[in-house]
Amino acid sequence: MDFQHRAGGKTGSGGVASASESNRDRRERLRQLALETIDINKDPYFMKNHLGSYECKLCLTLHNNEGSYLAHTQGKKHQTNLARRAAKEAKEAPAQPAPEKVKVEVKKFVKIGRPGYKVTKQRDPEIGQQSLLFQIDYPEIAEGIGPRHRFMSAYEQRIEPPDRRWQYLLLAAEPYETIAFKVPSREIDKSESRFWTHWNRETKQFFLQFHFKMEKLLPQPGGQAAPATIKRPPPLMTGLGARPPTDAMPPPPPGGIPGMPPPPPHAPPQMSHASGMPPPGALPPHLRPPLPADGPPSN
């Protein structure tokens, strides 16, 4: 018998599976897959009757074993009935209102102007660390509201052209307008003893003080390590330069100062003065004692 040219046939192997055998193999594979992924005890439509067989309460079908029921749940009939049941329950269920969003009541205040303020520049006498102390007066602040503050970059504001050398300190309290202070854009020392705020409820005054961090010296280009000292920061305000060291005036040249008349040839001798007393030239004219060359005062 010639098996070589038979469709699907091969010498030494079985014949081609029929349609029923293919369906049986497919159901077995689905059953094995369902057993691994589905817990049959949690299926609300699974029921075991008194005869020992299994029923599907949704499709009203009878099954001999659990594998047959699981293969049924993966079929088209069971999936269609599941979708139909879900649509029916959604239609009959009462419409539940959507959960209400938490509404935050926006407090509206009529602005009454800018508060009074006082700014004090300070410097630590020991290490030279610079600081700023702000005192803001809020005599008519609203009840239950405290002052707030934050630092803002120069690129966040739209009032002035942004400048990276500056930053802004904002202070706000209702119903007053928000005020801003323009301070150098240096790193703020936010340690506990260098940054603090205080709100005095009795005097309605808000205090804020912060320090700028110190700038350390960079290593010298010659390769020598710089001494372990701290560089004093530049002043907060641009002012006059440092004064030159006060030295004694140099003596006049031997020939005298050009353009100045020479001293008289016969100058009267100066009177010797006691120790501790200023020379006569240091006293005003009407208090000077008479010199020997002068005669008695005329009446």
CA gap 172, 199 in Å, rounded: 13
Ranges of beta strands (E only) in 31-178 are 46-48, 54-56, 61-63, 116-123, 130-137, 148-153, 166-172
Encode 130-160: b = buried (16+ Cβ within 10 Å), e = exposed: bbbebbbebeebeeeeebebeeeebeebeee
| pLDDT confidence of residue 242 | 46
Cβ atoms 139, 204 nearer than 8 A: yes
- From first to last of its 299 residues, the chain has per-residue pLDDT tens of 555 566 655 665 666 778 888 888 887 887 777 777 777 888 888 888 888 898 999 999 998 888 788 888 888 999 999 999 999 888 887 767 767 777 777 777 788 889 999 999 999 888 888 999 999 999 999 888 889 999 999 999 888 899 999 999 999 998 899 999 999 999 999 888 889 899 999 999 999 999 998 876 555 555 554 444 445 555 554 444 444 454 455 566 665 555 556 655 554 554 444 445 555 555 566 666 666 555 555 55
| pLDDT confidence of residue 241 | 45
| pLDDT confidence of residue 256 | 58
Burial of 112 by CB count in 10 Å (0-12 exposed, 13-18 middle, 19+ buried)?
A: exposed
Ranges of beta strands (E only) in the chain are 46-48, 54-56, 61-63, 116-123, 130-137, 148-153, 166-172, 179-184, 188-189, 195-200, 205-212, 215-216, 230-231
| pLDDT confidence of residue 35 | 73
> Among candidates 267, 273, 298, 275, which has minimal Cα distance to 288?
273
- CA angle 62/68/70 to nearest 5° reads 105
Show the domains of the chain with their CATH numbers: 21-89 (no CATH), 116-212 (2.60.40.790)
